[in-house]
A = this chain, B = another copy of it.
């Protein structure tokens, strides 16, 4: 079992630092040749734009330069049939930035895929975690 049983009476004292529990991360990428039009970084950035309404704030919240965020979003828009981010994208101090319905759909689909994958693979994931000394 990956975790020590927490219900026994011989639990270690709370002052003992807990070992990091192993956990499973699913990441999905869309590859097209060498390019990765959709992956976890761009989805996280889209989510940050949706949450903050601003590329500047989204970049800041992810510890990323404005320039890098802008380039990623621009590449994303360019790789989609219709853009994920509204074209009213202002400058660094420009007006708010909003996701298009396609952008909202992209996030929802991506996160649903991760959740569906984790659920469908639950038994094998437990099996794998049991192999790990965590």
Residues of A within 8 A of B (CB): 19-35, 37-38, 78-82, 102, 105-106, 109-110, 112-113, 116-117, 119-121, 124-125, 127-134
**Given B20, B121, B127, which contacts A35 in the complex, CB threshold below 8 Å?**
B20
In the bound assembly, the distance between CA atoms of A127 and B37 in angstroms comes to 15
- The quantity of this chain's copies bound in the complex is 2
Do residues B109 and A128 form an inter-chain contact, with CB atoms below 8 A?
Answer: yes
Do residues B121 and A37 form an inter-chain contact, with CB atoms below 8 A?
Answer: no
Rounded to whole Å, the gap between the CB of A16 and the closest CB of chain B is 15
Which chain B residues lie closer than 8 Å to A80 at the CB level?
Answer: 131-133
In the bound assembly, the distance between CA atoms of A81 and B133 in angstroms comes to 5
Q: Which residue of B lies closest to A112 (CB)?
A: B124
